[in-house]
Amino acid sequence: QVQLQESGPGLVKPSETLSLTCAVSGYSISSGYYWGWIRQPPGKGLEWIGSIYHSGSTYYNPSLKSRVTISVDTSKNQFSLKLSSVTAADTAVYYCADGSGSKGGWFDPWGQGTLVTVSS
């Protein structure tokens, strides 16, 4: 059974880079189709941040593309998110998820989420 766990700093200063890692257990990350990051600001809806495919290809939300990097570390069975030049608007619960399917696709399972607050 695949399990995902996000980790990283819970507090990031404005203008700095947010860095999170998603550890995958119960499954080789190399066998996955794609892996994704999704966030949810407090009291608001879900926002897709980006995905990385088994081929290494990445897709990013156009509204975040200039600031986002997603990478995979197969040796550690984990993938990572970097979001640069953060502001208070980046305060959110960040989720990582296992992606499947090509005609639409879906995310399952999800990690429990980690709250990242941007504040000085």
Q: Which residues bind another protein (CB under 8 A)?
A: 36, 38, 45-48, 51, 59-62, 95, 100-101, 103-113
- What is the residue whose two structure tokens read 């998820």? 97
| C-beta closer to another protein: residue 72 or 111 | 111
Contacts of 45 (CB under 8 A, 6+ apart): none
Cβ at position 88, least distance to another protein in Å: 21
| C-beta closer to another protein: residue 79 or 107 | 107
Cβ at position 30, least distance to another protein in Å: 21
Cβ at position 46, least distance to another protein in Å: 4
| C-beta closer to another protein: residue 28 or 100 | 100
Query: What are the DSSP E strand ranges found in 27-113?
Result: 34-40, 47-53, 58-60, 68-73, 78-83, 92-100, 106-110
Cβ at position 75, least distance to another protein in Å: 27
- How are beta strands 34-40 and 92-100 bridged, if at all? antiparallel
- Other Cβ atoms closer than 10 A to 56: 8
